[in-house]
Chain A
Amino acid sequence: MEEKELVIIGAGPAGLCAAIEARKKNIDVLIIDENIKPGGQLFKQIHRFFGSKQHMAGIRGITIGEKLLEEVEKLQANVWLDSTAYGIFGNRIAGVIKSRKKNVTVKAKAILIAAGAVENPISFEGWTLPGVMGAGACQTMINIHRVLPGKKALMIGAGNVGLIVAYQMLQAGIEVKAVIEIMPKINGYMVHAAKIKRFGVPIFLSTTILEASGKNEVEAAVICPVDQDYKPILKRTKSLDVDLICIAAGLQPLNELLCQAGCQFTYKPYLGGNVALHNENMETTIDGIFVAGDCSGIEEASTAMEEGKLAGIAIAEKIRKRKWDDEKLEVRNRLNDFRIGTFGEKRKISKMEIEKEYYEKVKN
């Protein structure tokens, strides 16, 4: 068994930021990631981030990813790539298949689970056909693999992910036939909706998909408007000539490792579903197990980075038995500044509820 002070699972924005903060405080850090390259989903974010300057707004995700990797390398954090953390056992022991070959157990003083999220599917007739995929999956195909998963597309969902990915599909040369949204309004920022409207892409509101048709692959999509009770108005059904259907129906935290570690959960719809209870230091109900990023509730890469920093500092405090309150306050202020607007506000409230529920479960 190997021993480390801090094991971080997931080398995405949250995990990398936590590693940087912990390394600055001279904590012995090991980052484990299943992928061949670090950066999580940052490298498919080719758009400029929003928020204010202190949140690195205006910089593209790919550039932020490169900066983080540079810093991690400079600070000499250990990174195991192509290595799957398959379990958390009692007393903070992580089970890892290192480089897809060797089973290794690592004992740590603290474990940060920053495993990220998984896309929500929605089911409809034909939804399993090749050519139906997550919006994030399409983003990975076009921006990372540089391969078109189809030539003519339908996007389901007009939230930020649906709108941004629809625009990136246009940039990659895919003809986006339409964006449909079952709600009566566009849920994402208008600036993103305007971008695709300028390309002449229609956004059909109060509209759903009935079927993806085709023999072995998607050959068409059948869409239909819905009434006030979200029931399809079948006589207004129409068929779209597409070979690609992308689903942008939100994400949910990847909770397996947190579950296995014995963490307690709460249901928070504005944060993507079941979320591990955690306190203001990102520590879960299990002593020494921390959580950050989408894994602690679905938000943005910008908040994931701040939460990672917060966890990194708090873990260093716990291990070194010291206090860095000023640094934590700065991060918390930035998090608060980011959680504004219709959705940000709801997330902020959900986060506060989580903290409250945490203290109800864990008596000080």
Chain B
Amino acid sequence: MKKNDLRIYDHPILGKLPEKKRVSIYFNGRKLIAYEGEMIAAALYANGIRALRKTEKFKQTRGIFCAIGRCTDCVMTVGGIPNIRTCVTPVRNGMKVESQKGRGRWKKKNW
């Protein structure tokens, strides 16, 4: 396993990870490889990125907590739109994902 590649390629019950088309996403401007159709947060965690946003007041980091779209701890600014639940939003090729500060800021839509 590469240092920052946390994918489970082989699993005793689920077998080999199916081959999928690779797409690029940009995390704070940094290009990352993601699999087509996977959730943004999963792609980030697979690349070793777990701190997804910072809180408004105390600037604490937050990551995935529930992974099923309930807790909103994983919200980020995606394509200029803040508060996107990244654990239930799939990646798109060329998507710009930014770690959100506080409640985030609306930017011009550009994805």
Contacts and interface: CB of A to CB of B under 8 A. Distances in A.
A145 B51 CA distance: 18
Contact of B45 (A36, A141, A143): A141
Interface string A156-195: 0000000000000001110000000000000000000000
B8 A136 contact: no
A149 to B, nearest CB: 6
Given A34-B88, A130-B52, A149 B64 contact: yes
Contact of A137 (B8, B38, B65): B65
B61 to A, nearest CB: 4
A131 interface: yes
A132 B67 CA distance: 12
Interface residues of A, number: 35
A123 B39 CA distance: 27
Determine the main DSSP class of B at the interface with A. loop
A143 B6 CA distance: 13
Contacts of A254: 70
Contacts of B42: 141, 145, 147
A136 B45 CA distance: 16
A217 interface: yes
B68 A41 contact: yes
A153 to B, nearest CB: 13
A137 B63 contact: no
B17 A133 contact: no
Interface centre among A134, A138, A142 (most CB of B within 10 A): A134
Given A129-B61, A146-B8, A147-B6, A134 B67 contact: yes
A253 to B, nearest CB: 12
Interface in B1-46: 6-8, 11-14, 17, 38-39, 42, 45-46
A211 interface: no
Nearest to B69: A34
Given A134-B67, A151-B6, 4 more contacts: A36-B90, A133-B64, A136-B67, A147-B6
Interface of B: 6-8, 11-14, 17, 38-39, 42, 45-46, 50-52, 60-71, 73, 88, 90
